[in-house]
Amino acid sequence: MLKVQHLERHNRTIVSLLLIAAFVWSLSAVEWKEGLLHTGGINAILKIIGALFTPDLSPRTLQLAVTASWRTLAYATTGITLAIALALPLGIFASGVLCTSPAVKLPTAGFFRGLLGLMRAVHELVWAWLFVAAVGLTPFAAIFALAIPYAGILGRILADILNDVPRAPLEALRSSGASKLQLLVYGYLPISLADLISYTMYRFECAIRSAAIMSFVGLGGLGYQIQISLEDLRYHQVWTFIYFLVLLVILVDLWSNQLRKKLVT
Amino acid sequence: MKALPMFQLNGVGKSYGMTAALAPLSLTIEQGETIALVGPSGAGKTTLLNILAGLIKPDTGQVKIEGYPPAALPPGPKRSRKVGIMHQQFDLIEQLPVIHNVLAGRLGEWSFFRSLFSLLVPQDVQLARAALSRVGIADKIHLRTSRLSGGEKQRVALARLSVQDPKAFLADEPVSSLDPVRAEDLLVMLTRLAIEENKTLVASLHSPELALRYFSRIIALRNGNIYFDRSASQINSEELAGLYILEKEAIDVESAASGKA
């Protein structure tokens, strides 16, 4: 027994040494002289860093930033709202809490879990390309592209949280005569509401970042403005838009803290 | 015509794996009796209560709840009108306000939409308020349940049981997580409620003194068997002492077992 442990420790050391050697060797595979930074690359980096402290605050840029932020926020909000509407029924079915017999529960829960998996397996950017190809450059493309993978994520979490609800209070409701549906609205949902809301708010934050990225596809918003400013080498403007993005995320975070405090106390 | 017995057990036994939780035993409980189940931990009190509540199926024997086999009383209004049970750990929905926990006793009688609507506009408020004032906490009706003390939570559980209005109240160690004063308060309320509304009451207790003081009939269990079963007035101090020794033995056995493990 002791010998085996000794051997295992030995093996681990050997593997670690091999991995370190592989890393050192891989460094030699990089051509350090050229290619890492293109000509003028260092110059560009210095400019970008310099602009960090002097964002463009001219009225025109600010106005542009506000409009773009508004659009990004609108995409994110509509997208997540649609995602919640989809995730609620799908997640409840995927959790199987409404089923009475295991013979029904296993296949239905499996089917809905699979469906949720399919929805979130494809990244929102890929969904965006698909929807732009299908319905063109309209806000609907952005909203659907956000809603589908986010519904997949939210639904999965909803199902997991519902499955983890403590049994005893539910048994008590059951013995006071509650049906499965009544159990859902008087037991499962109130018990898990605080967790659900804080996770959904976190996902709303993620949706804002995703909505910004979405606009690289050409759907407008903060990402689109950042892209244009970068192409024009207007780094001061780039930072203005990035700061607006950060501000949006911070605001959502504050709101979510407020909500959570209200729910937990 | 004499009313049907509330519970009739005939050769009822239950075991978990190799250990017998309840030796085959027979028992009749008439309507309106107030019964304390006493005995050391592991004597089978909880198993017996859960069998009476229809929550556990016995391995052997027959159970009749007011004449019906438990299978004829599926979970839902049919069962909740016959028996209601409260537990040591209250088992309330802590996140909901007190009023909804009390009104949860009505779920068996309400349609789904009425119960959903009640979360917005509480239904049968008078009923909930009356139940809460009987247990002395009407002023807490709109508080979030998690903010109550242990004693108050157990009163909410009692109010829920009274709103459910089953023919038999079952209580599994209802006071063992409360301090002595609150425990006695709760037992007073529980037994008074049962007697006033002519309910059958079966409660498991740790303290034989409390059992003697508040219940009319005492059933002592030991290793899944009935050790004695008689009216509270016929129990003498010797038997009580016997119960204490019984408890001590059980503790010795438990500590020996845990020592081995």
pTM, 2 dp: 0.79
A234 inside 8 A of chain B by CB? no
The SS3 call for residue B64 is strand
Interatomic CA distance for residues B28 and B38, integer angstroms: 17
Reading the block at residue B159, the tokens are 């109010």
Please indicate, yes or no, whether residues B113 and B210 belong to a single structural domain of this protein.
Answer: no
All residues of chain B having their beta carbon less than 8 Å from the beta carbon of residue A262 are none
Please indicate, yes or no, whether residues B4 and B36 belong to a single structural domain of this protein.
Answer: yes
Q: Do the domain assignments include residue B88?
A: no
* 8-state DSSP, B10: E
Please indicate, yes or no, whether residues A197 and A134 belong to a single structural domain of this protein.
Answer: yes
Q: Do the domain assignments include residue B112?
A: yes
CA angle B166, B169, B172 (to 5 degrees): 140
> B143, B165, B187 — which closes off a domain?
B165
Please indicate, yes or no, whether residues B178 and B242 belong to a single structural domain of this protein.
Answer: yes
Please indicate, yes or no, whether residues B139 and B16 belong to a single structural domain of this protein.
Answer: no
Please indicate, yes or no, whether residues A106 and A132 belong to a single structural domain of this protein.
Answer: yes
Please indicate, yes or no, whether residues B177 and B64 belong to a single structural domain of this protein.
Answer: yes
* Among the listed residues A186, A176, A180, A173, the one whose alpha carbon sits nearest the alpha carbon of residue B162: A176
Interatomic CA distance for residues B130 and B193, integer angstroms: 12
Q: Do the domain assignments include residue B36?
A: yes
Q: Do the domain assignments include residue A30?
A: yes
Residue B260 burial (CB count, 10 A): 6
Q: How high is the pLDDT of residue B245?
A: 63
Contact B110 A176 (CB under 8 A): no
Please indicate, yes or no, whether residues A130 and A37 belong to a single structural domain of this protein.
Answer: no
Chain B closest CA to A195's CA: distance in Å?
A: 12
Q: Which residues pair with B217 in a beta bridge?
A: B35, B231
Contact B80 A173 (CB under 8 A): no
If you write DSSP's letter for every residue of B118-177 in order, what string do you get? HHHS-SSHHHHHHHHHHTT-GGGTTSBGGGS-HHHHHHHHHHHHHHH--SEEEESSTTTT
B114 inside 8 A of chain A by CB? no
Interatomic CA distance for residues A222 and A59, integer angstroms: 16
All residues of chain A having their beta carbon less than 8 Å from the beta carbon of residue B53 are 175
B74 inside 8 A of chain A by CB? no
* Cβ–Cβ under 8 Å, residues B198 and B114: no
Domain boundaries, position A67: 56-264
Sequence-separated (6 or more) residues with CB below 8 Å from residue A104: none
Taking the alpha carbons of B159, B164, B167, B173 in that order, is the dihedral positive or negative?
Answer: negative
- CB neighbour class for B241 (10 Å; exposed up to 12, middle 13-18, buried from 19): exposed
Which residue is associated with the tokens 């016995």?
Answer: B58
* Cβ–Cβ under 8 Å, residues A111 and A118: no
Ordered per-residue pLDDT tens for chain A, 265 residues = 555 566 667 788 899 999 999 999 888 877 766 666 666 777 878 888 888 888 888 889 899 999 999 999 999 999 999 999 999 999 999 999 988 788 888 899 999 999 999 999 999 889 988 988 888 888 888 899 999 999 999 999 999 999 999 999 999 999 888 999 999 999 999 999 989 998 999 999 999 988 888 777 777 788 888 888 888 888 889 999 999 999 998 998 898 888 888 877 6
Please indicate, yes or no, whether residues A33 and A155 belong to a single structural domain of this protein.
Answer: no
Nearest to A179 among B81, B83, B112 (CB): B112
* Cβ–Cβ under 8 Å, residues B136 and B159: no
The SS3 call for residue B222 is strand
* Rg (chain B; Cα; Å): 19
> B147, B165, B183 — which closes off a domain?
B165
Sequence-separated (6 or more) residues with CB below 8 Å from residue B23: B13, B44, B223, B224, B225
Query: What number of CA atoms fall less than 13 Å from residue B256's CA on the CB side?
Result: 6
Q: Virtual CA dihedral for A61, A63, A65, A69, nearest 10 degrees? A: 180
Reading the block at residue A202, the tokens are 């976190």
Please indicate, yes or no, whether residues B202 and B251 belong to a single structural domain of this protein.
Answer: yes
The SS3 call for residue B81 is coil
Q: Do the domain assignments include residue A51?
A: no
All residues of chain B having their beta carbon less than 8 Å from the beta carbon of residue A185 are 115-116, 119
* Among the listed residues A197, A191, A190, A208, the one whose alpha carbon sits nearest the alpha carbon of residue A256: A197
Sequence-separated (6 or more) residues with CB below 8 Å from residue A193: A263, B95
Q: Do the domain assignments include residue B3?
A: yes
Please indicate, yes or no, whether residues B106 and B54 belong to a single structural domain of this protein.
Answer: no
| Edge-first strand listing for the sheet containing B217-222 | B83-86, B168-171, B200-204, B34-38, B217-222, B225-231
Number of compact structural domains in chain A: 2
Please indicate, yes or no, whether residues B137 and B250 belong to a single structural domain of this protein.
Answer: no
Please indicate, yes or no, whether residues A41 and A66 belong to a single structural domain of this protein.
Answer: no
B141-158: b (≥16 Cβ within 10 Å) or e? beeebeebeebbbbbbbb
Please indicate, yes or no, whether residues A124 and A216 belong to a single structural domain of this protein.
Answer: yes
* Cβ–Cβ under 8 Å, residues A211 and A230: no
Chain B closest CA to A167's CA: distance in Å?
A: 9
Chain A closest CA to B229's CA: distance in Å?
A: 28
All residues of chain B having their beta carbon less than 8 Å from the beta carbon of residue A171 are 55, 91
Please indicate, yes or no, whether residues A250 and A193 belong to a single structural domain of this protein.
Answer: yes
Give the DSSP H or E segment for B231.
strand B225-231
A15 inside 8 A of chain B by CB? no
Please indicate, yes or no, whether residues B179 and B223 belong to a single structural domain of this protein.
Answer: yes
* Cβ–Cβ under 8 Å, residues B96 and A190: yes
Q: Do the domain assignments include residue A78?
A: yes
Number of compact structural domains in chain B: 2
All residues of chain B having their beta carbon less than 8 Å from the beta carbon of residue A197 are none
CATH code at position A129: 1.10.3720.10
* Among the listed residues A241, A203, A196, A236, the one whose alpha carbon sits nearest the alpha carbon of residue A220: A241
CB interface of A with B, residues 151-170, below 8 Å: 168-169
Domain boundaries, position B189: 1-82+168-261
All residues of chain A having their beta carbon less than 8 Å from the beta carbon of residue B95 are 190-191, 193-194
Choose, out of A161, A173, A175, the residue to mutate when testing the contact with B (most B CBs < 10 Å): A175
CATH code at position B6: 3.40.50.300
> B165, B184, B205 — which closes off a domain?
B165
Nearest to B119 among A185, A187, A265 (CB): A185
Chain A closest CA to B207's CA: distance in Å?
A: 25
Chain A closest CA to B77's CA: distance in Å?
A: 5
Chain B closest CA to A256's CA: distance in Å?
A: 18
* Cβ–Cβ under 8 Å, residues A75 and A146: yes
Please indicate, yes or no, whether residues A42 and A68 belong to a single structural domain of this protein.
Answer: no
B216 inside 8 A of chain A by CB? no
Please indicate, yes or no, whether residues A150 and A86 belong to a single structural domain of this protein.
Answer: yes
Chains A and B: how many Cβ contacts under 8 Å? 78
Interatomic CA distance for residues A94 and A85, integer angstroms: 15
Nearest Cα residue in chain B from A264: B95
* Among the listed residues B94, B90, B172, the one whose alpha carbon sits nearest the alpha carbon of residue B135: B90
Q: Do the domain assignments include residue B87?
A: no
Ordered per-residue pLDDT tens for chain B, 261 residues = 568 889 999 989 888 887 888 888 899 999 889 999 988 887 888 899 999 998 888 999 899 998 889 888 888 888 889 999 998 888 899 999 999 999 999 998 999 999 999 999 898 999 999 999 988 888 999 999 999 988 899 999 999 999 999 999 999 998 888 888 888 888 999 999 999 988 999 999 888 888 888 899 999 888 888 888 888 888 876 776 666 565 555 555 555 555 443
Helices (H), chain B: 45-52, 77-80, 98-103, 112-120, 125-134, 150-164, 180-196, 208-214, 237-260
